[in-house]
Amino acid sequence: MKVKKAFNWERNFSAGDPVLIPSGAPVETQQKQGKTYYYVVPSYFSGILEHDATYYGCRVDPENVEE
């Protein structure tokens, strides 16, 4: 799975600027309380962004995911 259309990752938990996630970024799913959520794969990033994606998640809207 991958991101269909580029979007900005607004990291509300961080003082950093928004991060542009390009189309084609790899996406994985997680099941929580019977719901499916979509996230950019943390290993796609490096450094602090990988940390933030691992511990906070870079969520992708379900309509913005393609196989």
Residue-wise pLDDT tens digits, 14-66: 777 899 999 999 999 999 999 999 999 999 999 999 999 999 999 999 999 99
Q: What is the DSSP letter of 17?
A: P
pTM of the prediction?
0.91
The whole-number pLDDT of residue 45 equals 97
48: CB partners within 8 A, 6+ apart = 16
Q: What is the SS3 assignment for 63?
A: helix
Q: Which two tokens stand for residue 18?
A: 């928004």
- Count: domains in the chain: 1
Q: Taking a C-beta distance cutoff of 8 angstroms, is the pair 3, 62 a contact?
A: no
Domain ranges, residue 29: 2-66
54: CB partners within 8 A, 6+ apart = 42
